Structure 1
Amino acid sequence: MITYEYPFNERIRTLLRLEDLFDKSAHFMQNDGALEHHVALVTLFEILEVAGRADLKLDLIQELERQRQTLIAYRNNPDISEEALSGALYEIEQASAALLSMTGKIGQHLRENDWLMSIRSRAAIPGGVCEFDLPSYHFWLNQTAEQRRRALDAWIKPLLPLRDGLVIVLRLLRASGHPEENVAKGGAFQLMLGGSTTQMVRVSVKLSDAYVPEISANKYALNIRFARADGDHRPRPCDSDVDFDLTFCNL
């Protein structure tokens, strides 16, 4: 199955974008190549851009506290594993404490580094980080993989409480829903939601079916139109019935 997630509000959209960026950064940092570490650094600049758009830290702290209070209510419930519950509460409390310990504006340590900001501004220009534009960056890229990785670790470490907090929130959000089987007649599906408080919808399709959902939604209605993904990767209109799983998620 391949799953497509569609957020209903800007807050969840921001968390999904940051999750994707943190995953990419971690992937490229694990490699040893200079080009991979360049991508990791550019991705770090993207994290800085997305995380600085909203009061993300406060939102995460408030949501984690709300989830903590919800979980506390399950204490002494015979149907709930006390060990699992304690583990979840501990994870939330650690993430909240780390977020509370963050001081100043998100990513301020990066903004105060003139060298990094010069790379950031040049990276926005196609081909702007060539060695003749930024010789000092060319020198850095020719350091050992371990030296570069240590630097990348130091630059991203102050942002990791954000990653840890949003990972917990998104995990709880995804686990909040239960998939239901549906059929899009003639490739189209519509559902009236009547002012639902849903925060995200997940659409899962068999990968072998090669159907791509085009989703539009708000709290009043959900519309899904499936397109067929051909060999040239350009979606074509679909008039066949499509089986899919639909999951509504809400914290």
Structure 2
Amino acid sequence: MNNYIIYEQPITENVRNFLKCEYLDEKFNCAVKQHDMWSIKSSISTLIEMSDFIFRINIKIELLKDLEKNLHLLEILKKNNSIELSDYDKFYTEMQSNIDKLNSTDCSPSRSITDNDFLMQIKSKSHIPAGDNFFDMPSYLNFLSSNKTFILENINNWYSPFKPIFISSILLLDFKRTISKFEYFSSNDSYFEMKLDKSDKTDLVRIKLEKNINIYPDISVNPQNINIMFKTSYGANRQSKPIEEKLDFGISLSNIK
């Protein structure tokens, strides 16, 4: 059982986008696996959210650049004996495969949503509180009441164009997490500061804390420092305040090479 929470703070825009892709993919897969009507409805809402997010950015180009860059980094790590051979083989194979898949994908995966009148009708109602109800959209209830195999086939077809983007994003994040090890520190009170090496370009900060201690990090980063304010929540309104006690925690930095 995992006794820790890992909080992640993206520093660069591309890592922020990769984390958003991972978040959307996890939300979609969690919902679609449940098979009940409300979970399926949630998975469709997430598909629409995916489409809106991907439509706004050219993430395919970002992913291809990062995959190529990290293939080069893999070779450096292997040469320096800084990565397990099994990890090297795994990441090298998967990165090459994802580069090929991205290069063969449509530049506009959102079209699987935007070209679908049924889904766009749902989207047009979703910004209204309770707008995606069944009495205003009987076609939605009809779809959700269909055979489960039919429903999942449609949903997976709508999701399929996004899959290479989300898999590549998750792969890059897994690589960053694998090669960035935790170091452990103690803060005497709520505030912790770490100086950064000017030659390093940090793109992801990860903080490891024990579970069930009701403490979380508020992280800010600039080119010289990482600043962390550890806070706790209290009361029915979950108000926040800095902690006063000593705290042991882990910190991991992913750097752009």
Which residue number corresponds to residue 208 of structure 1? 212
Q: Distance between the aligned counterparts of 2:227 and 2:159, measured in 1?
A: 39
Aligned partner of residue 131 in structure 2, secondary structure: coil
Q: Indicate whether 1:42 and 2:45 are aligned.
A: yes
Q: Secondary structure at the match of 1:201?
A: strand
SS at match of 2:38: helix
CA RMSD of aligned residues (A): 2.1
Partner in structure 2 of residue 247 of structure 1: 252
Look up the match of 2:114.
111
Structure 1 distance, partners of 2:213, 2:139, is 50
Q: TM-score, normalised by structure 1?
A: 0.91
Secondary structure, in 3 states, of the residue corresponding to 1:52?
helix
2:141 match: secondary structure: helix
1:58 deviation in Å? 0.9
Structure 1 stretch 137-146 or stretch 156-165: which is displaced more?
137-146
Find the aligned partners of 2:83 and 2:133 in 1 and give their Cα distance.
57
Query: Which of these residues, 147, 152, 170, is aligned with residue 167 of structure 1?
Result: 170
Contact 2:195 2:226 in 1 (8 A): yes
Match of 1:204, SS? strand
> In the alignment, is the contact (CA less than 8 A) between 1:175 and 1:249 conserved in 2?
no
**Corresponding residue for 2:33?**
30
1:17 deviates by 1.1
CA contact (8 A) 1:14 1:50 kept: no
Does the 8 Å contact 2:15/2:203 carry over to 1?
Answer: yes
The match for 1:138 is: 141
Deviations along 1:134-188, one digit per CA (max 9) or x if unpaired, are: 1111111111222211111010011100011111110111123221111222211
Answer whether contact 1:33 1:145 (CA < 8 A) is retained.
no
TM-fit CA distance, 1:230: 3.4
C-alpha distance in 1 between matches for 2:247 and 2:135? 53
Query: Is 1:91–2:109 an aligned residue pair?
Result: no
Q: Which shows bigger deviation, 222-231 or 152-161?
A: 222-231
Report the counterpart of residue 127 of structure 2 in structure 1.
124
CA distance in 2, matches of 1:208, 1:87: 34
Q: By how many angstroms is 1:194 displaced?
A: 5.6
Alignment partner for residue 70 of structure 1, among 73, 87, 94?
A: 73
Distance in 2 (alpha carbons) for counterparts of 1:152 and 1:104:
20
Equivalent AA in structure 2 for residue 190 of structure 1: E
Structure 2 residue 235 is the aligned partner of structure 1 residue 235 = no
Question: Displacement, 1:77?
Answer: 7.9
Q: Alignment partner of 1:209: what SS? A: coil
Which structure 2 residue ranges, 5 or more long, are not aligned?
none
Q: Distance between the aligned counterparts of 1:42 and 1:82, measured in 2?
A: 41
Aligned length: 251
CA distance in 2, matches of 1:82, 1:187: 40
Q: Does 1:55 align with 2:34?
A: no
8 Å contact 2:193–2:226 — kept in the other structure?
A: yes
- What is the rounded CA distance, in whole Å, between the counterparts of 1:206 and 1:231 in structure 2? 21
CA, structure 1 residues 187+32, in 2 after alignment: closer, same or farther (shift >3 Å)? same
Secondary structure at 2:49's aligned position in 1? helix
Does the CA contact (< 8 Å) of 1:179 and 1:245 recur in 2?
A: yes
Change (3 A) 1:73 1:201: closer
Does residue 183 in structure 1 map to residue 183 in structure 2? Answer: no
Give the stretch that moved more between structures: 179-188 or 157-166: 179-188
What do residues 73-112 of structure 1 show as CA deviations (whole Å, max 9, x unaligned)?
5678888765653333221111111101112323122111
Distance (Å, rounded) in 1 between the aligned partners of 2:32 and 2:250: 35
Structure 1 residue 219 corresponds to structure 2 residue 219:
no
- CA 1:74–1:186 in structure 2 vs 1: closer, same or farther (change >3 Å)? closer
Q: Do the aligned residues in 2 keep the contact of 1:212 with 1:235 (CA within 8 Å)?
A: no
